[in-house]
Structure 1
């Protein structure tokens, strides 16, 4: 998998350039966080987590399969990995993806505006995942909005052991494949719970965009 990706400030109607890789970007400026800061935030969080676990760059490179040079560039904010590569690092560190893009310390009532959301995107925006929760509080669950382009299939790597996904289809018809099990077809209003510590995939069966809401539950408290 390629490792060239960029963090962008993206308007809802923005068309991304062809990268052939997955991306993470910040949509709009409603949160007050400049999109240019995101590579630095990812780098600082990665370095903090790595040092907290007592890992050198060399050991993390061997453990994750990501080169020391790339890890160093990520930590210094000079490079941002693809979603797949970042998941490899997170799985190796046994931390959720969200822990690498966490910022701030909100308290009390929290409002997450659409124009200030953080999106994960792959294959030129054919799949997007919008976080519907704050990243910096202790939790065992995370809540996402998933959107799949017509007839598109998004393949996901296995998450940490004990991770579960519970999703509901808000729009369209999709097929969910989990490990070696027979794929399951879900229509609008259908829900599904499955163990996500094996490779899995989400396929849009229709000619219109499909929308899903996903709750991810981890085996241990995170944050």
Structure 2
């Protein structure tokens, strides 16, 4: 798909009820955040670099965008990434079952992200499980100014390149902390799936 969308039923496995709910959650939140800031679809399209047609498809629940596309929209709206996936607040302990995860993907499923925190309000800190296909390379655009990423390699070996800095090789058990408001690239160095855990700290002045 030319704008980086992922069809809700593109996976070979049958979608869980939560998978089926994801397009509706995204659409509701995008429409709410856009209108609360007084943006038209045309204005948000210009600011985010995402076409008006794609934004309209997201708002009507017809498309689930890739991770990279969602970051563009979140940056243009000046909100944390998780705000686009926000659900009603829960009280007390919250158990996040693997089978109920809202899984986002890019690159035909070679890069997937699973949130390990509830989307129940504004979060300055977000926690994700990332999976990278064998030898896959994933490029990320700059996030909002002040955003930091803390990445831990649970399985495999990866190379992280931040902006114009020298690439850093991380083996299993290694971690890296970096400013994510510049382009950065994740690269799986081995011919098997890599598992990473990512903590994203959003800028303090995000509204």
- Fold conserved between structures, TM > 0.5: yes
Q: Find out whether 1:100 has 2:88 as its counterpart.
A: no
Q: How does 1:58-207 map to 2 (within 5 A)?
A: 58-207=42-191
Q: Could you report, residue by residue, the CA deviation over 1:105-143 in whole angstroms, capped at 9, with x for unpaired residues? A: 211101000111111112222111111000113321000
CA distance in 2, matches of 1:69, 1:119: 23
TM-score, normalising length: structure 1: 0.84
Identify if the C-alpha distance between structure 1 residues 7 and 172 changes in structure 2 by more than 3 Å, giving closer, same or farther: same
Q: Which moved more, 1:197-206 or 1:1-10?
A: 1-10
Identify if the C-alpha distance between structure 1 residues 173 and 211 changes in structure 2 by more than 3 Å, giving closer, same or farther: same
Alignment gaps of 5+ in structure 2: none
Q: Could you report, residue by residue, the CA deviation over 1:157-202 in whole angstroms, capped at 9, with x for unpaired residues? A: 1111100000111111110011111100011111110000111111
- Please state how far the C-alpha of 1:83 moved relative to its aligned partner: 2.7
Q: Which moved more, 1:116-125 or 1:57-66?
A: 57-66
* Structure 1 segments (4+ residues) deviating >4 Å: none
CA distance in 2, matches of 1:9, 1:107: 33
CA distance in 1, matches of 2:109, 2:87: 24
- Please state how far the C-alpha of 1:221 moved relative to its aligned partner: 6.9
CA distance in 1, matches of 2:70, 2:122: 21
- Provide the alpha-carbon RMSD of the alignment: 2.2
Identify if the C-alpha distance between structure 1 residues 106 and 221 changes in structure 2 by more than 3 Å, giving closer, same or farther: farther
Count of aligned residue pairs for this structure pair: 206
Identify if the C-alpha distance between structure 1 residues 110 and 27 changes in structure 2 by more than 3 Å, giving closer, same or farther: farther
Alignment gaps of 5+ in structure 1: 16-25
Aligned residue in 2 for 1:2: 2
TM-score, normalising length: structure 2: 0.90
Aligned residue in 1 for 2:16: 28
CA distance in 1, matches of 2:33, 2:118: 18
